[in-house]
Each structure stands twice: as C-alpha cells, then as structure tokens.
Amino acid sequence: MVNEPSDLPAPELRKAEWVRVVLDVPLPGPFDYKCDFPVETGMRVIVPFGRRKMIGMVVELPELPAYDPSLIKSVELVLTDIAPLPDHWLRFARFAADYYQRPLGEVVLPALPLSLRSVTAYQGKRSAGGPVARLDQRRAPVLKASAVSAVPELNAAQQLAVDLIIAAEGFKTFLLYGVTGSGKTEVYLHAAAQALARGKRVLMLVPEINLTPQFEQALRARLEPVAGIGGVAVLHSGLSDGERLRAWLRVQRGEARVVLGTRLAIFAPMQDVGLIVVDEEHDPSYKQQDGLRYSARDLAVWRGHDLGVPVVLGSATPSLESWVRAERGQYQRLSLPARARAVSLPTVRLVDTRRLKMDHGMSPHLLTAMRERLENKEQVLIFLNRRGYAPALHCASCGWVSQCPRCTTFTVLHRTTPGRHQLHCHHCGYQQRVPHACPDCGDQDLQPMGRGTQRIEEHLGELFPESRIARIDADSTRKKGSAQALFASVHAGEIDILVGTQMVAKGHDFANLGLVGVLNADAMLFSQDFRAPERLFAQLMQVAGRAGRHTGHGEVIVQTGYPEQPVYQALLKHDYSGFAKHSMQERESAMLPPFSHQALLSAEARDLNIAIAFLQSAKDTAMAIMEQQLSTEMITLYDPVPLRIVRVDNMCRAQLLIEATHRPAIQSLLRHWLAEINTLPESRKVRWQLEVDPLEI
C-alpha cells in the first residue's frame, strides 16, 4: 500500500524560470540554474555541475540569476518523489550554516538519507522512480505492538517538573537537573505523552541509542499506545542506508509522531513539533566532530525558539553553559534532588594510592570490597577509560617506548587472541607486530607499561576464578549487536564483574550492581583542555550513578593520587552545584566559556612550519579586519600553537584560538574572515577548518 501524503499541504508549484540551488560541494554557492519545470523551494533537482550530475536542493526562486544568463545551465530533472522540505526546515538549515560558517549545501544535503541525494539512485531504467518508489512498492512492514509497561506514580518533584513543562506556552528552555536515578526519563515520558495527546509531535535526543536499547524499549512501550503503532521512529548513525531512509520518510511524511535519535536527528524534517527533549545534555557526543561541526543541543534550543515550543535539557551534571543560563534565569531549572526509587545515592570512597601497595593497579580496599559484593551475589563494575592491554610497550634497560612511526604518540599493546599481542596506534590505525627484542638495545625483556581494560580483565580472571567476567569497550563490541548482547547478559545476571570504558557509564539501569571501582581517573585530571575537570566530573558522576540503583547501599571506590582535587571532593558529596560554582568562578576569572565565546581555526600540513605560517597569515588578516571594524577590544586572537599530539598520520597540526566576550562580535569577524582566508595563498598548502564553539581545545 502506497503511503498517501494526504496530510501534507499540496505545494503550489510555480513554473520558475530561475532556481537557486545548493549542492554538497566545498564551494560557497548557491548556484543558479534555469528551470523549465514547475518547481518550489525545498524540492530536490538533478543539475549538471562541472562534468558531473548532482542532486541539489532549491532554496530560492530568484527573479533574476546572479550571473550572466547565457552562461547558466538548466535543471535536468525536478524530483517529486517526496514532498518539498518545509520552510521552517530550510530556515533551520540556514541558521546552522550561518552560525557554523559553512556553505548551506553542506548542511542541507548531508541531512538527507544517502539515496535521496545520490544521482545514481535516479538513473537507469529500473531506478527511474528512485529509491522512494521502490520502497513504496514493498509492503508496509507489520509492526508488533509493544506491551504496555507499568507506569510508576510520579513523585512530587517529578510531578512539578511535568506540570511546569506542560504549562509552558510557546518557547521556553527547561534545565531538568536530576541526580542519577532520579527518574528524569519518567518526566520526559509524561511530558511527551501530553504533547502527543494535544496532537503534537515529540523530538527526543539521546547521546547514544545502540548501547541503551532499554531506553528505546521503554519509550516505545509507553508512547506507542498514544502515538500509534509504529508512531516512534528511531534515527541514528548505526542504521543501514535503507533503514535510515525508511525512518526518515516516516518522519517526513508525518507518520512518525515521536522521533528518538542521536545528534543527527536534530535535522529530521518533523512537522508540528510540540516538545523537544535533550537527555544528558552535557554529553560531548552531541557535538559533531567533522564536516559541519554543530552542537545538536545548541541547535535544539534554537529550533525550539524558532518553532515556539518548549525544550527540556536533562542532566545530573549539566554543562556549565546550561548551568550559567539557568543561574541567570534564561533557562528555568527543574530539580529532582533524590533518587526515584526509595534508595540512597551510593557512598563514594576515595582511596589515596600514593601510600599503598597496589596489586596490578588495584588497591587492597577495592579488592576487599569486590570480594564482599561478589559473595553477596551483587555485580561489580570496574571502570577504566583505556582500552587495550597496556598503553605502551617499554624496555626497562634503555627506556625505549613503542611509538607510532606516523604519529607523535605511543602505540598501544593489544591482545588479539589469548597469548598473542600486537601494537596499535589509536590515532591513525597503524598496526605492528610486537618486536622480539628492543629495537634500540636488543634487550629481550620488553614489558607492558601501565594497564588497559584487557589487562585488568586478565588479572581479575586470576584473582576471581569463580566469577564470570565481561569486558565492554570499543574492541569487544566491534561486531554489530555485540554490545547489546553483552549488556543483555549483564542485565540477565549472567555476569559478575564488568570491566569497561565510558561505554558502560551511559544510561544503564543495572538492577543488581552494588560496587563501582574507578581506576586511573587521574589521567584526565591534568589535560590542557580547560573543560577536562568538568568532563571528568560528569563521567565519574555518571559511572558512580550505576551503583545501587535498585537495592541502595551502592558504593563507589575511586583510586586517585590526588584526593584533595576539587573534582574528587565534590564527587565525595555528590555535589554538582558546589563543583559548578567552583568551576564557574575559575572560568569567569579567566574569561573562559561560558563567559566568553570561542572559535578555533585549525590547520594541518606535512610540515608544521607550513601550518603555523598559514595560521599566522590568517591571524594578520583577522587583525586587519578588526582594525577596519574598530572592534579590537572585544576580540582576542591568540598565537598559533601546535597541538599536544602534533603529528597524526604524518600530518602536523596547529591551531589558532579566537575569543570574544560577545557572540555577535565573533560572528561578524568570522563572516568576513572566511572569505579572506580562502584567498590566502598559504591556504592552498594546508588542510584547514574553522570550528565555532569548539568543545576540545
């Protein structure tokens, strides 16, 4: 049965002479074409571009083309397999392009499923109708109804939060600040059900879907009775092209009334949105790290504002950006101060490792606590944010350390099969056999240096031979579905000890997990990035929040050589707001974000000097623009500096930081600056990019 797009307004097709089209090419654009067919903005067209044919999107119907009409080529085909993308969607894409300083085509086209933007899908006899027609010829999948799960009665804090969200008329941003296990999900679900009952649609963003099928199940079970069977669409980067196309079309045709997705779902062409939720709003994965380097959280707030609907940002450890806005009253704070189940927060213990004899990186305190929990048939989680067997291989006689030939980093020792090891570079993927002897001095006694998850897993196997141990990290979960299978066996009680990286920290509601041990957290403490303590605190709070969620009496043991550090002291007391206050004072006195705004110009070249020279010319250009604009006092331009890991895959990397107290000042500079950078002769010798609101510096 072909889906009738009957609830969509029929576009008023105009027979246009000229169309302005955006394409996914690294050129400013847009590009004008002649068009002899009826066409509207938001429609896709096939156009010639150079010697190629490409799919582009019509963004404007100009009266006259921007250049000589006799040079202008014609649109070959107007694609009508889907309804035109609506104006509000184009407006959103335009904002994102403007704000992040990218050509509009690099926003619009990558936001579409692959087959809707690849010409080949529309060429040839068989595919003349394109992928949408082929899909519609197939029978609609029969979706099974999910069982309705029990709805807990909201506690007073949850009820108040839901009431305030529901009462919001038009745009308003809420910061749902709730400790781990406080039942934020219930708040989202109630507010979402309410929006659906009013005939509206709901967009819900989460950092990660693959790892937390629990969340998707709960959402389906609870909202499908309201949204209709199949009314929940899921969008994330782990979908195949076909799955993504199907989900996207259900959103675009208005069949999906709830969209659950990762950051890319912010670009879903949803209609009639009544609520936007961003769960774990502090999570760095909301930031796209290549191409259009957007923050889905920030875009969610803009979109809520543009559509006039409430936005709920939820977290136990909000980003300082959001916290400051709540403090200033720009966001309304909703607090869930206690765990929803009648259980207390876990006890946190700091174990000072400086004076202790450690057993393979684990303190006697941790091992004793593990033994007790395991005897009590509770599960234990050992958290170590370092995958592999050991961070490096090293020669005790001469000090040689395994190093990547293409990068300025160590190669990491990995166990490939039992008893066999290899050296891997985590930056460029370089792999190498383990040398039999030290390449420098010939000594055969090479030793692993430090510990990764594999080595801890191995050692725990010796210490606790009766226990069932599982390791969850990027290496153990490469195969599709393997992470879900591992988590399922943890939930089913088939695992006693879980060893994992940050992958295990996210969102899991483990019923029987009593103890969390944190190894080597200090590694993140002394990073040069000013956000490192904030990120460490959020990660520790999140992983700590896995302990004792159902039973209470949870315990968290953090091993550290620096127990007096504010981040650990705050963790001890579960004191996010104290930590936030301390961090805000630090940031304010140094005029760092959120008290200023930043942009980062980075460059890479085979020769570091070339990258630096480019950045230096770019800096000079920016100074000249600022002098013209008379805005020198509001913007600080730092000197170009090499990155800490300067060489990756034989490319040397450097960056130039720009900081301003006012966002408009920086935006106005960037606009002029980009055009100038493109004309610098040095710009052709490097790969460069500009990032607005960088998360990592």
List interacting residues with ligand ADP (CB under 6 A).
152-155, 158, 178, 180-186, 340-341, 509
Residue listed under structure tokens 């684990």:
362
Alpha helices in 139-179 (DSSP H): 156-167
Length of the chain: 697
Q: Decide which of ligand ADP, Zn ion, none touches 292; Cβ closer than 5 to 8 Å per partner kind.
A: none
Compute the least distance from the CB of residue 209 to ligand ADP, in Å: 15
Q: Does 441 bind Zn ion (CB under 5 A)?
A: yes
| CA dist., res. 165 & res. 455, Å (int) | 48
Position among 57, 219, 438, 613 found at the interface with Zn ion (CB under 5 A): 438
Compute the least distance from the CB of residue 646 to Zn ion, in Å: 12
In the complex with ligand ADP, which residue's Cβ is closer, 551 or 617? 551
Compute the least distance from the CB of residue 339 to ligand ADP, in Å: 7
Nearest one of 212, 559, 554, 215 to 385, comparing CA atoms: 559
CA distances to 1, 225, 232, 579 from 148, in Å = 28, 8, 14, 40
The answer to whether the beta carbons of residues 483 and 210 sit under 8 Å apart is yes
| CA dist., res. 146 & res. 220, Å (int) | 7
In the complex with ligand ADP, which residue's Cβ is closer, 57 or 258? 258
Q: Decide which of Zn ion, ligand ADP, none touches 340; Cβ closer than 5 to 8 Å per partner kind.
A: ligand ADP
Compute the least distance from the CB of residue 261 to ligand ADP, in Å: 18
In the complex with ligand ADP, which residue's Cβ is closer, 315 or 668? 315
Q: Decide which of ligand ADP, Zn ion, none touches 428; Cβ closer than 5 to 8 Å per partner kind.
A: Zn ion
Compute the least distance from the CB of residue 476 to Zn ion, in Å: 22
In the complex with Zn ion, which residue's Cβ is closer, 443 or 696? 443
Q: How do strand 172-178 and strand 310-315 relate by DSSP bridges? A: parallel
624 Cβ neighbours under 8 A, 6+ residues apart: none
Compute the least distance from the CB of residue 323 to ligand ADP, in Å: 17
Q: What is the 3-state secondary structure (H, E, C) of 324-336?
A: HHHHCCCCEEEEE
Position among 66, 398, 590, 641 found at the interface with Zn ion (CB under 5 A): 398
Direct distance between the N- and C-terminal alpha carbons of the chain, in angstroms, rounded to an integer: 52
Q: Decide which of ligand ADP, Zn ion, none touches 638; Cβ closer than 5 to 8 Å per partner kind.
A: none
| CA dist., res. 427 & res. 499, Å (int) | 23
Compute the least distance from the CB of residue 63 to ligand ADP, in Å: 53
Between CA 45 and CA 50, with CA 47 as vertex, the angle to 5 degrees is 155
Q: Does 202 bind Zn ion (CB under 5 A)?
A: no
What angle, 0 to 180 degrees and rounded to 10, lies between the N-to-C axes of helices 482-491 and 213-227?
90
Compute the least distance from the CB of residue 436 to Zn ion, in Å: 12
Nearest one of 579, 528, 74, 606 to 318, comparing CA atoms: 579
Q: Does 443 bind Zn ion (CB under 5 A)?
A: yes
Question: Which one of 121-129, 131-139, 432-440, 450-458 is the stretch in contact with Zn ion (CB under 5 A)?
Answer: 432-440
Q: Decide which of Zn ion, ligand ADP, none touches 427; Cβ closer than 5 to 8 Å per partner kind.
A: Zn ion
CA distances to 391, 528, 648 from 407, in Å = 15, 19, 4
Question: Which one of 434-442, 571-579, 653-661, 667-675 is the stretch in contact with Zn ion (CB under 5 A)?
Answer: 434-442
The pair of structure tokens assigned to 183 is: 């039942």
In the complex with Zn ion, which residue's Cβ is closer, 128 or 441? 441
Q: Decide which of Zn ion, ligand ADP, none touches 670; Cβ closer than 5 to 8 Å per partner kind.
A: none
* Backbone angles phi and psi of 339, in degrees to 5: -65, 145
The dihedral built from the CA positions of residue 262, 264, 267 and 268, taken in this order, carries a sign that is negative
Q: Does 407 bind Zn ion (CB under 5 A)?
A: yes
In the complex with ligand ADP, which residue's Cβ is closer, 178 or 500? 178
Nearest one of 643, 650, 660, 646 to 696, comparing CA atoms: 643
Q: Does 424 bind Zn ion (CB under 5 A)?
A: no
In the complex, the residues that contact Zn ion under the rule CB under 5 A are 395, 397-398, 400, 404, 406-407, 425, 427-428, 430, 438, 440-441, 443
